[in-house]
Amino acid sequence: MPDILEKLGPVHLPLIGNSVAVGIFSLLHIAFASLAVGFIFIAPVFELMERENRFNTKAAYALTRFTLITFTASTVLAVIMIELFVGLFPLTNIFVFNRFRYPIYLAVAAFFLLLFSLYPYYHYWEPIRRRSRRLHLVLGFLAAFFVLVWVTILDGIGSYMLTPTVGQGSDRGLFNPTWIPLVIHRFFGNFVFGGFAIAAYAGWMLGRRKGHPDEPYYLYLLKVGFLIGLAALLIQPFTGLLYATQIRSAAPQAFRQVVEGRYDLLVYLQFTIIALLFIGSHLLLIAARTEERGFLPVLREARLGQRGALWGEGALLLSAIFIVVFATHPWVRRFFTLVLVVLSAYYVYQWRHDLSAARSERLNQPTVRRIAVTLGILGLLIYWTMGTIRETARRPDTVRGIISLQEEARTPKFLTGGETPESTGTPPQKGGTLNHPEPRG
């Protein structure tokens, strides 16, 4: 086989390059996949709480419908991503699939069962509910369980590529230092994006259907989506801290590369988006308390004459600015993040009644709708930025310390039993490996 491959040479995608090509499809895939995972969890919970609010069942159905509609597109994007991986990074592909074959068997089985629970859950919604509401709920929660198994295993593979273990068994790769932290971080991340996406959709629909009979439904959706997104956002700094700590202890060079390396701009971008998410959420809370229109009147109406507003909200705003300014100084940044989280949680608690009591005249106004849509977009951007950071942290390796980009760039020399790319005699290349990192600049 190498004979054939030597004749053909490796594939180099023109203009964008191999890594960017895989990256584009990964990002497109996770935009749908993260929403689907979040919605698969949220939908049965909505349905379970149908007696709490008459709109809950409708919302559960709509979320599942979205998941089903985007399901195939998301899956095919993943297939394209893997195919690019096979064609552009054959060494890494073979290595990863070989190493994780048993978890992959389990993941495929979980995916298969996911289909068998999700499809009847949506396509036979009414017939099953007529027969047994409990059975329908069981199907919904089973789908959530199977999708959790699926993403947990995929996170295991993704985390291994950054912090690989040295165990020999095929299943040992999963138990790498950053696996569980990544699973937790992504789990809540799905709700940040999912919640804000629901709010954004509701905001967009409210703008299109003012005075429509569905208006109360979208108002409810906006409030609930916003609260889901904000609640998960308040948790994320802690799960992120756990994840970052694990990366630093398991792969200090990767951590340093992220924070101080050539891609540190991405970290600034990440914390800018996080700060905007907090500020945007706070602005939406303020806007929900007044019937004024426009940002400045809203701020004036809600803020002037209130004792402590200057200090509390000034501190919130400053903390948001400081987490960006000190993005590459972890301890300072963490302090301000904590302040930001505490203050945001305080204001949500204080104004919870205002938000739940807010009706059309307060929520269905351009300011709120625009903030909601912006939060949805920011939710997607933060997902993409974080995903990109995690991938760039591995550079110049594809599997950190095991396979380098440079090895992939040469004509593939396939592994045989008991070999590694390094043991096949690949000399250190310009790109370097973990022990010989690529020089900056």
Partner 1 sequence: MPFQPLNIPITWGRIAIAVAALSHALFATFIVGTSVIGALVATINYRTRKERWGRLAHMIAFTLALTTGTISFMGVVLVFSLNVFWPHFWSTLFRIMFWPFLLEAGFFLGEAVFAYAWYYGWAWTLAPDRRRGFHLSFAWLAAGSSLIAMFMIDITASYMLTPAPPETFWPRIFNPTMIRLDVHRFFGNLVWAGFALAGISAIGALRAKRGEDRAHYLWGGRFFFAIGFGALLVMPFIGFLYLRQIRYTEPQVFFTLMLGSRSWLFDLVALFYGLLVVVGSFYIYKMVKSNPTRPASFDSYMPISLGAVILAAIVFALPYHLQHIPFVHHITHLQVNPFGKMQPNKYLSASVLVFLGLVSWIYYLSAFRGMGVREETAAPLRPDRTAPRLLITLAVLSILIYLVMGYSRETARATNGYLIYDMIRLTDERPTYPGTAQGTALAQKKR
The contact set with partner 1 (CB under 8 A) reads 1, 3-5, 7-8, 11, 65, 68-69, 71-73, 75-80, 82-84, 86-87, 90, 93-95, 97-99, 101, 104, 108, 111-112, 115, 119, 123, 164, 166, 168, 170, 402, 412, 414-420
Distance, CA of 273 to CA of 16 (rounded, Å): 25
Q: Least distance (Å) from partner 1 to the CB of residue 358?
A: 32
Please identify, using beta-carbon distances, which residue of 114 and 202 lies nearer to partner 1: 114
Please identify, using beta-carbon distances, which residue of 39 and 322 lies nearer to partner 1: 39
Q: Least distance (Å) from partner 1 to the CB of residue 434?
A: 12
Q: Least distance (Å) from partner 1 to the CB of residue 254?
A: 17
Please identify, using beta-carbon distances, which residue of 1 and 296 lies nearer to partner 1: 1
For residue 426, give the DSSP letter: P
Determine how many CB atoms are found less than 10 A away from the CB of residue 244: 18
Please identify, using beta-carbon distances, which residue of 54 and 123 lies nearer to partner 1: 123
Please identify, using beta-carbon distances, which residue of 84 and 343 lies nearer to partner 1: 84
Q: Least distance (Å) from partner 1 to the CB of residue 119?
A: 7
Please identify, using beta-carbon distances, which residue of 79 and 135 lies nearer to partner 1: 79
Q: Are strands 403-404 and 397-399 parallel, antiparallel or unpaired?
A: antiparallel
Q: Is 211 left (phi over 0), alpha (psi -120 to 50) or beta?
A: left
Please identify, using beta-carbon distances, which residue of 71 and 217 lies nearer to partner 1: 71
Distance, CA of 292 to CA of 304 (rounded, Å): 13
Please identify, using beta-carbon distances, which residue of 241 and 409 lies nearer to partner 1: 409
Q: Least distance (Å) from partner 1 to the CB of residue 175?
A: 15
Q: Phi/psi at 396 (nearest 5 deg)?
A: -90, 20
What SS3 state is found at 411?
coil
**Burial letters for 298-313: b for 16+ Cβ neighbours within 10 Å, e otherwise?**
bbebbeeeeeeeeeeb
Burial of 389 (0-12, 13-18, 19+ CB in 10 A): middle
Q: Least distance (Å) from partner 1 to the CB of residue 166?
A: 7
Nearest in space to 276 (alpha carbons), one of 376, 391, 387: 376
- Tell me how long the chain is: 441
Contact call for residues 332 and 326 (beta carbons, < 8 A): yes
> In whole angstroms, how far apart are CA 324 and each of 67, 186, 196, 335, 336?
34, 22, 21, 12, 10
Nearest in space to 302 (alpha carbons), one of 232, 355, 374, 235: 355
Q: Least distance (Å) from partner 1 to the CB of residue 168?
A: 7
Q: Least distance (Å) from partner 1 to the CB of residue 360?
A: 26
- The tokens for 143 are 């789908």
Distance, CA of 94 to CA of 414 (rounded, Å): 8
Please identify, using beta-carbon distances, which residue of 27 and 273 lies nearer to partner 1: 27
Q: Least distance (Å) from partner 1 to the CB of residue 187?
A: 22
